Structure 1
Amino acid sequence: MDLNWLRDFECLGRTLNFTRAAEERNITQSAFSRRIKALESWVGLPLVDRATYPVRLSEAGTQFLPVAKSAITDLSESRQLIRDQDRGDRQQVRFSVLHTISVHYLANRIDALEREIPQLRTRVISDSLSACCQLLLDGAVEFLLCYRHADIAPQIDEAEFARKDIMTDRLIPVAERQAAERNQWALPGQEVRDIPYLAYERSTFLGIVTEHLIGNRQLHLDMIYVDGLVEAIKRRLLAGSGVAWLPETAIRQELETGSVVAVGGSEWETPMALSVYAAPDQLDTIAKEVWARF
């Protein structure tokens, strides 16, 4: 038995889609399918009815899903308790958060929270959306901070967790001002000369949002660089390497000083909610104070 098999099955039980579940688990669809089959072999019965579209869980799968979820939670909580006891930091409030939110929002917010709650001690785990969601599902963190988009299905079951929307951010197509002016970069670009494009990995949340925003519209872009981190793309952008869609919070100062400019109108932007998730009834006293202040 591999714990990842249970996590894969939980993801498939939530999405009922092999392609999307594989993307969330950050593995190829063929590898994901092999792991589901390995779990079925271990259980001894088919867990998924593959003859339907979309797929659905078999009767055995429906019975096994809550068992898998419980096992994941119990193992993760036990592991975390042992680690916390060893480090002597059981009083820490734990956050899982996307890298860019950690840098451009949470760090300042924790500064303020520490002034309001002097006994607060925190641990922040910055990772991909799928990993951050898994930490919350496993009970390894008290809070998850992530983006939500109206056209992208949530990765968290909101029947199990409470959500607060903190603010609205915007994903904006931008470029370094001098490079944009010198090269006349403006969406949708010119057929005679493609605009160099700094893109997100397709499996990342911002990559999915950007591709959905572009849709079937004709753009003259030359994808010269791909990365999963906003800060890495921003660094290339500030060097004048090309255009990219960046969260407004990540470039607010540069937009205000004029060193970075938008290269498209409002039709090329999209709003995203910055949200926090938690299970309030499972929070200790200090964590409940933090939740109340979001």
Structure 2
Amino acid sequence: MDRWGYPVDLNWLRDFECLARTLNFTRASDERNITQSAFSRRIKALENWVGLPLVNRATYPVQLTDAGKQFLPVALAAISQLSETRQSLRDADRGDSRFIRFSVLHTISVNYLAARIEELQLQIPELRTRVVSDSLSTCCELLVEGAVDVMLCYYHHSVSPMIDEAAFERKDLLADRLIPVAATGPTRANGWNLGKSEGPPIPHLAYERSSFLGMVVENTIERHMLNAETIYVDGLVETIKRRLLKGSGFAWMPETAISAELANGVLVPVGDDSWSTTLTISALSNPEAFDTTARKLWDLL
């Protein structure tokens, strides 16, 4: 606790580590999945707790002060020690049953990983898994902290990784197209086509711009003149899919999430291939820490 009696927040240390790595408040707040103003307040709260400025905001990019450089290894050690202790307690609570832990984006968990684990359990009968579905920043955080064994996420050429891959092994598992689609009835009734510049704008169901898919879609849109109006914003593929199926508008969707609806004609593309882009579903891990079962799983992936 500080001299006023309140404890340092572990999230402040994680925020500081992220800012020290990116040297950019905007990118760091995106990675931490909070607004820039809230992120700045948390960094300021940490500085108040320490009693000295940790970041020089007058430079671009921002730089750590001498105090910040001295404090960074202490913050990293505290994060690591707390994470390792937490994981040791969790492992002890599980007894002899060793679970292989995944962090994964929610849409990959629903549309890819669940079926893949079923296949793997046929090949590895002793396999036991625990899956945490969350945002990309949280999934990365859990992997870095050692709280999970394997992380599954999307990669795209236009979006920089949110994690330093040097400490991990990566496997690319599947190519997944991101396609603009809409319900068949409204598309035909209204003549929705992203290639048409005339006519009323097409209602767009969009992802949060700070999310991974939001950044990929923004990169895709930049290549075109888009005749669309955003009427709804959400961070979850599954929530946007429900609005799609009701005919509310169009959205870019991972093909793995809509393969059945495309096959039976419930959803149709509203643009040609130039409006689509390819994502890669990838797995990251540190195999040096694996036991025999985890190694079997990693090899079969």
Tell me, what secondary structure is at the counterpart of 1:175?
strand
SS of the residue 1:124 aligns to: strand
In structure 2, how many angstroms separate the alpha carbons of the residues matched to 1:198 and 1:192?
18
1:139-178 equivalence runs, <5 A: 139-178=146-185
User: 1:53 maps to which residue?
Assistant: 60
For 2:248 and 2:95, locate their aligned partners in 1 and report how far apart those are by CA, in whole Å: 46
Assess if the C-alpha contact under 8 Å between 1:175 and 1:238 holds in 2: yes
Aligned to 1:203: 210
Deviates more, 1:221-230 or 1:136-145: 221-230
Indicate if the aligned counterparts of 1:169 and 1:249 stay in contact, CA closer than 8 A.
yes
* Structure 2 unaligned spans of 5+: 1-7
1:92-107 aligned within 5 A: 92-107=99-114
Give the superposition deviation at 1:87. Answer: 4.3
CA distance in 1 between counterparts of 2:154 and 2:96 reads 28
Q: Which residue does the alignment assign to 1:232?
A: 239
Q: Determine if contact 1:174/1:261 at 8 Å carries over to the other structure.
A: yes
Note if contact 1:189-1:195 (Cα within 8 Å) is conserved in structure 2. Answer: no
**C-alpha displacement of 1:143:** 0.7
1:191 Cα deviation from its structure 2 partner: 4.1
1:282 pairs with 2:289: yes
Report 1:10-89 matches (<5 A): 10-88=17-95
SS at match of 1:159: helix
Is 1:253 the counterpart of 2:260? The answer is yes
Q: 1:159 to 1:45 in 2, by over 3 A?
A: farther
Is 1:186 the counterpart of 2:180? The answer is no
Shift of 1:62: 3.4
What is the CA deviation profile of residues 30-82 of structure 1, one whole-angstrom value per residue up to 9, with x for unaligned ones?
22112212223333443323232112333443343333223212212211322
Residue by residue, what CA displacement relative to the aligned partner does 1:223-269 show, whole Å, maximum 9, x if unpaired? Answer: 22222111111111122221000001111222222222111112211
SS of the residue 1:258 aligns to: coil
SS in structure 2 at match of 1:255: helix
Are 1:218 and 2:229 an aligned pair?
Answer: no
Gaps of 5+ in 1: none
Instruction: Tell me which residue corresponds to 2:121.
Output: 114
Instruction: Give 2:275's aligned residue.
Output: 268
Deviation at 1:188, TM superposition (A): 4.3
Find the residue that maps to 1:168 and give its secondary structure. strand
**Secondary structure of 1:54's partner?**
coil
Separation in 2, partners of 1:235, 1:52: 45
* Alignment TM-score, normalising by the size of structure 2: 0.92
RMSD: 1.8
Question: Which stretch shifts more, 227-236 or 88-97?
Answer: 88-97
Helix, strand or coil at the partner of 2:49: helix
Aligned-pair CA distance for 1:103:
0.8
Report the Cα distance in structure 2 between the residues aligned to 1:67 and 1:60, rounded to whole angstroms.
Answer: 11
Aligned residues: 294
* Shift of residue 89, structure 1, vs aligned partner: 6.7
Q: Distance in 1 between matches of 2:150 and 2:53?
A: 35
**d(CA) in 2 for partners of 1:58, 1:212:** 35
- Counterpart of 1:5? 12
Give the Cα separation in 2 of the matches to 1:266 and 1:111.
33
| Alpha-carbon distance in structure 1 between the residues aligned to 2:43 and 2:110 | 36
Identity among equivalent pairs (%): 62
